[in-house]
A = this chain, B = another copy of it.
């Protein structure tokens, strides 16, 4: 996926959201925005937007000398955890628990900034559950799952990780080994090892990190150890738009579970914005 000129307003929108999230002062904000404008001038349009976004988030963290999303990530995890018991029951009592849990994992991808209460998250998730999956390769996934002992699971955001836990628990129940992948260090609202610990995922499966602070999974920037895991994986579940942007087209058996949150990605997929996908690579 290439960067489009439509990505440019969005690059700045993300910058402004991050700066507001942290609540620095006008002078620092202005300095960061100027640096982001320079990064945008040098943007490599032949690469997915995740490349430029990664540089931008590095500049923001450096400019404010902090991780602007640290606090809100804890909050999102707490809110999602408060929903966990009810969702666990929902999965347990459903006719096809893996299907229900995978649907919830896609629904959980809706969690984003601007959703601040458990009621809001519940509402968004319930709405997502009622929405039809626009591209649904679940049956093919189940076939592939039967022939795989171990699954590599690329996590995405805080809050959402609790929904991933539901699916990973189901995969464990049917006897699969799962390695869940977090980011090497903080970037945006993406999960790191800390989130896996906070949400109890670390006691459900093995957690590995990809050694990178990139949006999505930019393979050349990940650690050697992660790249080996990725190459050796029999079956990979990839969460979120960033991972889709950066991994779609790779010569691996990957299932992308996400919601297309932006117009550029939706257009690339020839789908309406905010579509839900369970898409085979």
**Does any Cβ of B come within 8 Å of A64's Cβ?**
no
Shortest A13–chain B CB gap in Å is 4
* Contact assessment for B5 and A30 in the assembled complex, using a CB-CB cutoff below 8 Å: yes
Report yes or no: A16 in contact with B5, Cβ–Cβ below 8 A: yes
Q: How far, in angstroms, from A184 to B176 measured CA to CA in the complex?
A: 71
Q: Kindly state whether residue A29 has any CB partner on chain B within 8 Å.
A: yes
* Chain B CB within 10 Å, residue with most, of A6, A12, A13, A15: A12
**Stretch in contact with the other chain, from A32-40, A69-77, A161-169:** A32-40
Q: Residues 86-101 of chain A: 1 if any B CB is under 8 Å from the residue's CB, otherwise 0?
A: 0000000000000000
A8 at the interface (CB under 8 A from B): yes
CB-CB under 8 A from A16, the residues of chain B are: 5-6, 8-9
**Please, what's the 1-or-0 string for A32-55, where 1 marks a CB less than 8 Å from any CB in chain B?**
011001101100010000000000
CA A16 – CA B6 in complex, angstroms? 7
Most chain B beta-carbon neighbours within 10 Å: one of A6, A34, A37, A38:
A37
Query: Contact string, A197-214, partner B, CB cutoff 8 A, digits 1/0?
Result: 000000000000000000
A119 in contact (CB, < 8 A) = no
Question: Shortest Cβ distance from A32 into chain B, in angstroms?
Answer: 9
A–B pairs, 10, beta carbons within 8 Å: A5-B19, A5-B26, A5-B29, A6-B16, A9-B9, A9-B13, A12-B12, A26-B45, A37-B40, A38-B41
- Which residues of A approach B to under 8 Å, CB–CB? 5-6, 8-10, 12-13, 15-16, 19, 26, 29-30, 33-34, 37-38, 40-41, 45
